[in-house]
Structure 1
Amino acid sequence: MSALPEAYDAALERAVAHAKQWLASVPTRSVRPTMDADQVAAKLGSPLPEGPTDPAAVIDELVAVAEPGLMAMQSGRFFGWVIGGTLPAALAADWMVSAWDQNTGLRFATPSAAAIEESAAAWLLDLLHLPENSDVGFTTGATMANFVGLAAGRQYVLEQAGWDLATLGLAGGPRVTVFVGRERHEVIDLVVRYLGLGNCTPVDVDDQGRIIPEALAAAMDGQPGPAIVCLQAGNIHSGAFDPVQEAVRLAHGKGAWVHVDGAFGLWAAVSPELGKYLPGLETADSWATDAHKTLNVPYDSGLAIVSRPDVMRRTFGVHASYLPADDHGPGDPHEKVPELSRRARGIPVWAALRSLGRSGTIAMVEKLAANARALAEGLAAIPGVEILNDVVFTQVSVSFGSDERTRRVTQRVMAEGVVWMSGSVWHGRDILRISVSNWSTDADDVAASVAAVRRAAEAEA
């Protein structure tokens, strides 16, 4: 007999109550956790109980243990790394995904989940101005979205070279060279390692981290053969965008596959104001981004987009007698990601886009960029502060003079907890790095954040 519906009631009621309390606390609580992982682990150190525990009591215990170790990543004053908040419709839809518990691999088995994801995919391609016949896979995050795009690229260039990857594997085949800008995100190297392609070939970049087309041409001339060029939409320190149009034209002229890592910056393409930084974006072959960043969808929400569905499905498709295949139309969800079993992670993406609409999506992206400019302007007015990048999107890199002082100011900002900004190193200098990703950040958050940095800078003068 199926579980009685009322068996869920008490636990879900406690979860709703605790969730509301957490969300109500976010605007005013310290952004930083008040316990570290070891302290939380010590609270969890008792042996597994011999018998069952009431589900509602489990939720209460979970919240009591976890709350001190939670980072307020949904805060409008969280600017560490590139992590967005959560839009209300996306959060509620994510709860429904868990309640429905659909294994979203087959259109036949989970038609609603598949159709909703296909609708979200069509909206995404329209908003991002990408080829409408592209396949969209919903992955765990940007790492696996990049994996999908680069795996499809590996499949394509080896096929073009006459090598049957599926039958022969990589051993003995032609080497696939992956050309990357020197300031690519390290996840690209990780993915290339996963794919067994060896070290990337770095290409020189300019002072904002943008790949130099002439350097790309020279590098490709020096290493002929099957090639993938990985471009970047949104440098992690400067926010800058590679010259996609020129680089794609050059790479395609040499038979290469072009992939764009746009973990957070691909969303600039939705904006008439910001899209000017990405001319020719649609001419690439694959793209990766993360909806939990700029779109503010709950984890996990990676998006892998490939312009050649046949290549994507040859790369990831699984065929077995017990799996009824979708032999026409958009294909099965499992043919577009590395997983056969997964949750319906595209449904919160649909809910986010449905709640925002076209104008709301554009406005949210442009607001993030405007808040980054406002933070840069406010910080630049503090004595001794230098803004090191051209603030073209959502990233701000800040120096307070010497590396030692920059580190001290950064540590003081994080210790206070009013705002969270992370440290990094860019062009050999220690910096305070700001990533503006939260839909809820407003003018008051910007002012409070500038004031917090001012206090830290004055204390370390």
Structure 2
Amino acid sequence: MSVRAGRRGPGRRLRRSVVAPQSGALREAGPAQARPRADPARRTADLPHLAAPHDGVPARGSRRGRRRELTMADSPRQQCLADGRIDPEDLDLLDSVARYARFFLETPRPVRPRDPDRLAALLGGELPGEGNGEHATLRRLVEAGESGLLPSGDSRSFGYVVGGALPIGIASDWLVSLWDQCAAVYETSPLASVAEQVCERWLVDLFGLPTGTVMGLTSGCTTANLACLAAAREHQLHAAGWNVNEQGMRLSPPVTVLTGEHTHVSGLRCLRLLGLGDQVAQVDAGTDGRMDPRHLAELAARAPGGLIVCGQVGSTDCGSVDPLTEIADITHDHGGWLHLDAACGMWAAASPVLRPALEGLERADSWSCDGHKWLNTPYDCGIALCARPEPFVDAVRFDADYLQTAERTGRDPMDHRVEISQRARALTLWAILHHEGREGIARIVERNCSAARELGSLLAREPGVELLAPVTLNQVLLHIGGEDRTQRVVDTLNSAGTCWVTPTTWNGRPAVRISVSNWQTGRESADATADAFLSAYREHGEPGTSASRPPADKR
């Protein structure tokens, strides 16, 4: 088998219905205290939808429950396989999961897991020898889940930037598993290939990107960054007369990479994987978290060789957006490639209200974002976009004799990403885009940003609580005192199960970050979260007693 690299050439869940909202409309449930919380340690034996069919009788599908006199050749399952039919036991299994899904979506539960020891016990032990029946295995898995799930779909789950899952996303993702398509080339799944091509066209239009921009679907923003930065490296080295696919990096011409002070670690990780880790210089940022264009211009003027600039659209901690027009001008004036990590913030481009905060977005050469954050696709869905198709495809494409490519049939998804075999993510993405439409997506991001502003405003009124950066999009960054007090407040909130937040450090100061990225979260969730936050804050000391002084300006 021969393999050839690409070459240049011509050419909280307070309560959520399992029925998707009509016309993209969004709903928020009433206060959590109006309903009792579910016990996370509740045994699945108490859940009728996953209980054994008869007490004392092993579940269908259990080896112990099958008639021993049946041989493998004439067992019901083998007979179904021989006839090309589905075993009714398998359909029962799917019905059980569907019933549990309805129970899960309709049942309030604490935001944090409560029984990690039980979780470890349920999942642990030695690998079974003979194995267990399907229903018994699912019951064990669900019981472990009830002890160890983080309900990231909750309207008050604000840790990291996790997002939720729209009902249409869950339902369509079930179909993806049912159909089990390998979205590698057109021949392995025409459905996935065409869906991905349609999603590419829709997203380029939604984000207002240049005509001809291409898209690849990945596991997340990290691998989307990897594909885009590989394209940037390919472009800059090709301009210097170097074919990195054939000649490698050991003796290559220099490439300088300039990143913002608050660049996400995934971008730095990708640069290291690409052999550019020792060629990175950091651009200062202002107190608002935005890249300083003057410092960027100074570094760009001194940069040897090809230039790559990495900006941000919605930083992880405070949601800041770099001055995109200015950094695009500076980058392109020096012959550079501008890549924007827009893991979450890219979706703000769908809103006419929020789009002005992203002015200059279309000036970049490549972009990375996640569907599983603000678009609320089920995990996982990363999106790589590139306005320069040729270096993008050259950076990641390869051919092999056994692969039947789409020259005569259609688009090959693997030509636009690092992975070859991959889940048909485009189908879930297509379903959400088709269901929500432009206006539905705009409503989600506007609703979340409104809730974030409300939260920031309510909390900043409290003496001793300091808003460390303007609430630009959906991130709220707060200083509430020293590291110990900050951690105590976070632990109190998370252990109570009323909301989930995470700590961070901002310019040397302890901070709490609140990320609003769930399709259900609105102002009602913001009000309830503010009440819980202030109660925990007041519980752990007098206002302002632990405040630390900000560091001196580094510039």
State TM-score, norm by structure 2.
0.80
Q: What residue is the counterpart of 2:510 in the other structure?
A: 430
Q: 1:56 aligns with which of 131, 135, 140?
A: 135
Contact 1:81 1:422 in 2 (8 A): yes
Give distance in 2, aligned partners of 1:405 and 1:64.
35
Cα-Cα RMSD: 1.5
1:77 aligns with 2:156: yes
1:14-50 per-residue CA deviation (whole Å, 9 max, x = no partner) reads: 211222222112xx311011123x5422222222222
Q: What residue is the counterpart of 2:486 in the other structure?
A: 406
Deviation of the 1:207 alpha carbon: 0.9
Counterparts of 1:316-327 in structure 2, within 5 Å, are: 316-327=396-407
Q: Secondary structure at the match of 2:276?
A: coil
Q: Secondary structure at the match of 2:187?
A: coil
Q: What residue is the counterpart of 2:32 in the other structure?
A: none
For residues 392 and 221 of structure 1, do their structure 2 counterparts lie closer, same or farther at Cα, with a shift above 3 Å needed? same
Q: 2:275 aligns with which of 193, 196, 199?
A: 196
Q: What residue is the counterpart of 1:456 in the other structure?
A: 536
1:170-228 per-residue CA deviation (whole Å, 9 max, x = no partner) reads: 11011221110111111111111111112321011111111111111111122221121
Tell me how many residue pairs correspond in the alignment: 458
State the structure with more CA Rg.
2
Give distance in 2, aligned partners of 1:394 and 1:329.
42
1:171 aligns with 2:250: yes
Deviation of the 1:383 alpha carbon: 3.4
Q: 1:129 aligns with which of 183, 208, 217?
A: 208
Q: 1:352 aligns with which of 386, 411, 432?
A: 432
Aligned residue identity for 2:398: V
1:262 aligns with 2:342: yes
Give distance in 2, aligned partners of 1:216 and 1:443.
38
State TM-score, norm by structure 1.
0.96
1:208 aligns with 2:288: yes
Give distance in 2, aligned partners of 1:176 and 1:306.
19
Contact 1:102 1:344 in 2 (8 A): yes
Contact 1:10 1:55 in 2 (8 A): no
Q: What residue is the counterpart of 1:16 in the other structure?
A: 98
Counterparts of 1:98-109 in structure 2, within 5 Å, are: 98-109=177-188
Contact 1:85 1:297 in 2 (8 A): yes
Structure 1: runs of 5 or more not aligned? none
Q: What residue is the counterpart of 1:46 in the other structure?
A: 125
Q: Which moved more, 1:392-401 or 1:95-104?
A: 392-401
Q: 1:218 aligns with which of 298, 308, 314?
A: 298
Contact 1:407 1:431 in 2 (8 A): no
Give distance in 2, aligned partners of 1:52 and 1:42.
18
1:296-332 per-residue CA deviation (whole Å, 9 max, x = no partner) reads: 0011100000112222211111212221212279731
Q: Secondary structure at the match of 1:365?
A: helix
1:114-139 per-residue CA deviation (whole Å, 9 max, x = no partner) reads: 11121112111111111231111010
Structure 2: runs of 5 or more not aligned? 1-81, 542-555
Give distance in 1, aligned partners of 2:251 and 2:369.
33
Aligned residue identity for 2:502: S
Q: What residue is the counterpart of 2:67 in the other structure?
A: none
Contact 2:468 2:477 in 1 (8 A): yes
1:138 aligns with 2:217: yes
Q: Secondary structure at the match of 1:108?
A: helix
Give distance in 2, aligned partners of 1:351 and 1:280.
29
1:309-359 per-residue CA deviation (whole Å, 9 max, x = no partner) reads: 222211111212221212279731000111110010121111111111111
Q: Which moved more, 1:91-100 or 1:196-205?
A: 196-205
Counterparts of 1:297-446 in structure 2, within 5 Å, are: 297-327=377-407, 331-446=411-526
Q: 1:180 aligns with which of 256, 259, 269?
A: 259
Aligned residue identity for 1:14: S
Contact 2:318 2:513 in 1 (8 A): no
Identity %: 38
Q: What residue is the counterpart of 2:68 in the other structure?
A: none
Give distance in 1, aligned partners of 2:219 and 2:85.
30
Contact 2:186 2:409 in 1 (8 A): no
Contact 1:410 1:423 in 2 (8 A): yes
Q: Which moved more, 1:364-373 or 1:6-15?
A: 6-15
Contact 1:290 1:301 in 2 (8 A): yes
Q: Segments of 4+ in structure 1 off by > 4 A?
A: none
